[in-house]
Amino acid sequence: MDASSPADPGSLAALEVQGCAIGAGSGQLGALPEHDRLTVLDVGGPCPIPLWDGPVPRVARADVLADLRRRAASFREVELDTMVATPWALAWTIDPGPFVLWDEDGVRLRVAGATIARRDGPDVATATVGSVVAALSPDWFTRSVELVPLVGEPVVAARTDEPMARIDPTYDYICLTFDASWAVQLARALASAVGVPADCTAYD
C-alpha cells in the first residue's frame, strides 16, 4: 500500500492477524493532515514481515490498535523510523513490556532484566550503563543511538547514514530534525527501558 494514500477503512479490520505476533504503531511523520501512518509487522518469525502500511485517521488510531491487540496472538505497540513514505528500517517497543528493537534482519537488541542482549555483539549488563545518547557526527552524516557505559567506550544500538547531508547544499537543521527524529525517540525509549537518562542534546 502507498503510505501517502488514504487507507481503505475496512482493510485493517479484514487483516488476518490471528495466530500472529504483531508489532504495530506509527513512525515519525505522516503525509496527510489529521492522520498517522500506521505500520503493522508480523514479528513472530526470524525477520519482521510487513503486513499493512498506510494512513489511519488520528481519532481512530487507538481503536485500530485495540482491535489488532484483541485479534492477534500477541501484540506489541511500536514506534518506527518511517518518514512520510519511506520504508521502515527500525521498529522499537513503546509499551510496558520488555524493550525490543527490530530491524529488517530480526531482533537487533532486547532488554531482558539485568541484561541487554545484542545480536551484533556481546551482551551488556544494564547496571554498567550510565546513559543512552542520540549521537550525531559533526557533518550530520551519521546518526546513532549509543549505550554509554559508566566505564569504557559507547556501544552502538542503532546507526544510519544520510548521504544527503553531505551532497545537498540546501540540507539544513530543519531537514536534520525530521530525518533524525527517530534517533531522539529511540534513545528516549531505550533509556527508559534501561532506567538511565537519555542525552539528546546533539539535536538541540
- pLDDT score of 3: 46
What would the pLDDT profile of 20-40 be if each residue is shown by its tens digit? 999 999 999 888 889 999 999
The pLDDT value recorded for residue 11 is 80
| pTM value > 0.85 | yes
- pLDDT tens per residue across span 113-172: 999 999 999 999 999 999 999 999 999 999 999 999 999 999 999 999 999 999 999 999
Averaged pLDDT, 70-95: 96
* Cell numbers representing residue 20 in the block: 500472529
The 100-103 sheet, strands edge to edge: 49-57, 35-42, 21-26, 74-80, 90-93, 100-103, 106-112, 115-118, 124-125
